[in-house]
Structure 1
Amino acid sequence: MKTYTFNADEKLINEITSYFHKEDFCEVGDYMLYKISRKNLSIIIYTSNKVVIQGKDADIYFEMFKPIDNIILPQAGSDEVGTGDFFGPICVCAAFIDEQTFDKIYDLNLTDSKQLNDEYILKVAPTLIKKVKHSLLILDNEKYNQVIKENNMNVIKAKLHNQAYINLQKKIKKLPELIIIDDFCGEDKYYQYLKGEKSIKNITFETKAESKYLSVAIASMISRYAFLTKMSELSSKYRMTFPKGASNLVDEFTKTFVEKYGTDELKKVAKINFKNAKRI
């Protein structure tokens, strides 16, 4: 069983306890302040402010809550949003943080955008955009529907991530030694997809990287913010509230949209290779 132990100040303890739900807390024993339990995870915070994290998922939560001194800086990370949504663009961001940047954003609650609600992301992301050096790429639906004819989704993602890092490198002159991608295809496949193109090397590929590395979490939030903004713009333009995802609800909305605007207009707002398009 994996075990991590460290001392936490009051602020970090509040950060840990505020992350979990009421049902995650258990009855405490002697010398305990809090006891938190989830599948594959146990966290005990003692009256001495010592924190013990155990379980199969201990490494994930340690990366989220570890003391500042354990965060490797500088680092750059990237993540994408919109690849599972029928409507809206694909947004990819690569973000860079060093000690100076970290000091500017320390007071923000930054974790994976998938763990934060959209309301909070819309509130915090503009600050991140101003204070964090980053590169944001937005592939709109019309362009996506062209490139998907000759590339699968993972190829498109690999090329977007790579270009985001190339753009970021131009902004900061030199990328840090620690570069992370939220893994979606594996290192070998990733570089196969980039064969013949200028590519950024020495990348760390990790699943759930947005929960382990602050730079990836920031990239995830900026990407999500860009996606939400574009979805809002579509809703305003067509006077219809576009649903996220690719569920049956999306199918029903698509039928209404096509009845009102036609299939040619659908190509401007949706990913036509999705099964949703075939069900209308």
Structure 2
Amino acid sequence: MANQVIKVSKDTLNKMKQTYQKNILNKVVPYTHFVAKVGATTITAYTSGKVMFQGADAEREAAKWGAALSPKTSTKSKKNSPSLPAGFAQRSAIGSDEVGNGSYFGPVTVCAAYVEKDMISKLQALGVKDSKELTDDQIVKLSKVIKELIPYRLLVMEPKKYNEIQPKYNAVHMKVALHNQAIFLLLRDLDPIKPEGILIDQFTPEGNYRKYVRAEKNQVMEKLYFVTKGEQYHIAVAAASIICRAAFLEELTKESQELGYTVPSGAGAKSDQVAARILKQGGLSLLENYAKLHFANTAKAQKIAEKG
């Protein structure tokens, strides 16, 4: 199936809606202005201003309104990372990313997401990109849409479990174990489909990653690629980033609701103050349910609690 994506102004979008009024389908699709069917071509107009044409006459229909967008890549990705095959951004691939490792409160979340090449343009039109470029509200809403469109595996390491494992696993080993397990489970879900590659948002040298994977029961070692800022090289990493960021935010909200006051992300002075409040309320046995105790914030919070 041919795919064409164009970017149009609000005025053009309104004209398109008027033109295709009789062809608009009676269906509600998140993040869209309308979905229309013209002959063999489906036209999806997104709130981002991008319009996707799918079908045998996609190119001809799209050409009436504007030029097709080139695949979105950064300067780095145009040159291709030395570790990635040429044209990797347009291949069917798994992307893997994690969130929460640097936050005192909340879990570590890891997601592996599979994006087929035919789905890339649709995710781009939806506005899927690096989660750092999106607001928290956008992330939570977009995550729900992405999870309906692509296969994924999400792992959430709650603080209490994190604290139990942390003395045996350092932070890097723990992330490697989580990435490996998420990828393994997703590959099992996809079988017999085989992705053309697995891109991990790099957080440690490849040799180090592979060393820690050898200690795991279910080892995934083939077709692995490692690049920092992986979302710039394949949209699967961006999708995984959004899903695990949304899960992290949802867990922080749950923690805040349980305690009755806001639990912050990060590891700054606010975290010290909130941790001190929790310590006064229930000691380390309560704090271990919400925070990663080996962080320096714990000692700072204990001093604040003693003074108070």
- Scaled by the length of structure 2, what TM-score is found? 0.69
Work out the CA distance in 2 between the residues paired with 1:70 and 1:254: 44
Q: Is the 8 A contact 1:137 1:160 kept in 2?
A: yes
Quote the offset at 1:170 in angstroms: 1.2
Q: Does 1:220 align with 2:238?
A: no
Contact 1:94 1:165 in 2 (8 A): yes
Post-superposition CA distance 1:173-218 (Å, at most 9, x none): 1441211000011110001112243321220000111222100000
Name which of 267, 282, 307 aligns with 1:246. Answer: 267
- Separation in 1, partners of 2:133, 2:194: 28
CA-CA distance at 1:104 after TM superposition: 4.8
Return the alpha-carbon distance in structure 1 between the equivalents of residues 166 and 8 of structure 2.
Answer: 44
- The answer to whether 1:95 aligns with 2:113 is yes
Matched, 1:153 2:174: no
Structure-2 residue corresponding to 1:210: 231
- Contact 1:76/1:175, CA 8 A, preserved across alignment: no
> Runs of 5+ in structure 1 lacking a partner?
1-7, 15-47, 64-68
Kept after mapping to 2: 8 A contact 1:181/1:206: yes
1:190-209 matches, within 5 Å, as 190-197=209-216, 198-201=218-221, 202-209=223-230
User: Are 2:179 and 1:183 equivalent residues in the alignment?
Assistant: no
Classify 1:167/1:154 alpha carbon distance in 2 versus 1 (closer, same or farther; 3 Å). same
Amino acid in the other structure paired with 1:58: T
Residue 158 of structure 1 aligns with an amino acid whose one-letter code is: V
Matches within 5 A, 1:40-189: 58-60=75-77, 71-102=89-120, 104-173=122-191, 174-189=193-208
Report the CA distance shift for 1:9/1:109 in structure 2 as closer, same or farther (over 3 A): closer
Aligned length: 232
* Separation (CA, whole Å) in 1 of partners of 2:239 and 2:260: 31
Which residue number in structure 2 is paired with residue 4 of structure 1?
none
Whole-angstrom distance in 2 between the partners of 1:13 and 1:192: 51
How far did residue 118 of structure 1 move? 0.7
Percent pairwise identity: 31
Aligned-residue offset at 1:71: 3.6
Any idea what SS the aligned residue of 1:161 has?
helix
Q: What are the ranges of 5 or more consecutive residues in structure 2 without an aligned counterpart?
A: 11-66, 81-86, 302-308
Q: Counterpart of 1:107 in 2: which secondary structure?
A: helix
1:93-150: CA deviation from partner (whole Å, max 9, x where unpaired): 0000113433653431111111211111011110111111000000111110011101
Deviation of 1:237 (Å):
1.0
Report SS of the residue matched to 1:80: strand
Q: Residues 144, 199 of structure 1: CA spacing in aligned structure 2 closer, same or farther, 3 A cutoff?
A: same
User: Against the structure 1 CA distance between its residues 70 and 207, is the aligned structure 2 distance closer, same or farther, given a 3 Å change threshold?
Assistant: closer
CA RMSD of aligned residues (A): 2.8
Distance 2:232 2:117 in 1: 19
Mark the CA change 1:236 to 1:211 in structure 2 (over 3 Å): closer, same or farther.
same
Matched to 2:7, the amino acid is: K
CA contact (8 A) 2:89 2:233 kept: no
Partner Cα distance (1:243, 1:105) in 2: 30
SS at match of 2:112: strand
